[in-house]
């Protein structure tokens, strides 16, 4: 049973436009959400996170939106740059003291010139 | 401050051999997670450890796989009697705390295990 779902395995966006990556979760106990970026043959790199007490968190070109009622979050990248081409993983955890981080299956973002 | 260090980066084992994967967490981090990534798939949780304790091993296969995080030294993921299906990238991550606003886990470069 996938608790964190990324239904789009791939996404292609033109350079300069907005990239929107989506993620849904099923476990209502999750209260902390993260996005990671991964290049081939490298480990995932933390990008941005959001606590469930917020509905938006912004860091430069990256903004994460959280809709708790819909159990949905999204990552917006604007403007998209060629270096943004990577696999993006959505992840979630609960705030308890002993909680694993559950990852989605990833979305491969390609930025075309 | 060095990041999460995993070694070896690449490991080749014949079927039936043992594989030992090492992970040194970031300085000051006492929580370690192991994940497996099969080709063209996402990151699958395997095990979550704190120093000398296994907190959650719900993602670990019941047989042949074990993990430890001793008081001193790196965390070890051990796979006995490897089979071809064990071929994957194994990633270790560490974090200073569990829960709250500091739950970001930092990943190592991974160990790519190939079973021949």
Widest distance between CA atoms in chain A: 45
Residue B100 has a pLDDT of 47
- CB B109 to CB A45 under 8 A? no
Would you say residue B92 has pLDDT above 80? Answer: yes
> Residue A46: which of B41, B55, B104 has the nearest Cβ?
B104
Spatial distance between the Cα atoms of B36 and B56, rounded to a whole number of angstroms: 15
- Residue linked to tokens 């990552």: A75
Residue A5 has a pLDDT of 94
Residue A98 has a pLDDT of 55
Residues in chain A: 113
Helix (H/G/I), strand (E/B), else coil: A84: helix
* Other beta carbons within 10 Å of B28: 8
Residue B28 has a pLDDT of 85
Looking at residue A101, what DSSP letter applies? P
Cβ distance B35 to B45 under 8 Å? Answer: yes
Would you say residue B78 has pLDDT above 80? Answer: yes
A108–chain B nearest CA distance, Å? 10
A93–chain B nearest CA distance, Å? 8
Would you say residue A9 has pLDDT above 70? Answer: yes
- A101: region left, alpha or beta (phi > 0 left; psi from -120 to 50 alpha): beta
- Each residue of B29-54: pLDDT tens digit? 889 999 999 877 789 999 999 988 99
- On chain B, the residues whose CB falls within 8 A of the CB of A41 are 110
In degrees and rounded to multiples of 5, residue B100 shows phi and psi of 75, -160
Residues in chain B: 116
- Each residue of A42-72: pLDDT tens digit? 999 999 999 999 999 999 999 999 999 999 9
A40 to chain B, any CB pair closer than 8 A? The answer is no
- Each residue of A65-97: pLDDT tens digit? 999 999 999 999 999 999 999 999 999 988 655
- CB A98 to CB B56 under 8 A? yes
- Residue linked to tokens 């060095």: B2
Return mean pLDDT, chain B. Answer: 91
B106 to chain A, any CB pair closer than 8 A? The answer is yes
B54 to chain A, any CB pair closer than 8 A? The answer is no
Residues A96, A5, A80, A12, Cα dihedral to 10° = 170
What proportion of chain A, given as a percentage, has pLDDT over 90?
85
- On chain B, the residues whose CB falls within 8 A of the CB of A99 are 98-99, 103
Residue of chain B with shortest Cα separation from A40: B109
Q: How far is CA A7 from CA A94, A107, B62, in A?
A: 22, 8, 29
């Amino acid at each position: 049973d996938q608790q964190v779902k990324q239904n789009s395995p791939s996404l292609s966006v033109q350079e300069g436009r907005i990239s929107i990556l989506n993620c849904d979760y099923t476990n209502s106990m999750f209260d902390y959400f993260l996005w990671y970026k991964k290049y081939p043959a490298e480990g995932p790199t933390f990008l941005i996170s959001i606590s469930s007490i917020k509905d938006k968190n912004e860091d430069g070109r990256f903004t994460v939106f959280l809709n708790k009622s819909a159990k949905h979050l999204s990552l917006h990248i604007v403007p998209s740059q060629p270096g943004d081409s990577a696999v993006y993983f959505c992840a979630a955890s609960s705030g308890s003291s002993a909680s694993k981080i559950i990852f989605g299956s990833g979305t491969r973002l390609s930025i075309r010139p | 401050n060095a990041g999460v260090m995993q070694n070896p980066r690449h490991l080749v084992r014949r079927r039936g051999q043992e594989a030992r994967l090492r992970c040194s967490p970031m300085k000051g981090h006492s929580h370690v997670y192991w994940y497996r990534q099969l080709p063209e798939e996402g990151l699958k949780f395997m095990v979550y450890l704190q120093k000398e304790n296994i907190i959650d091993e719900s993602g670990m296969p019941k047989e042949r796989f074990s993990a430890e995080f001793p008081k001193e030294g790196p965390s070890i993921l051990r796979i006995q009697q490897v089979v071809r299906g064990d071929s994957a990238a194994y990633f270790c991550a560490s974090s200073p705390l569990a829960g709250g606003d500091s739950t970001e886990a930092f990943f190592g470069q991974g160990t790519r295990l190939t079973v021949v």
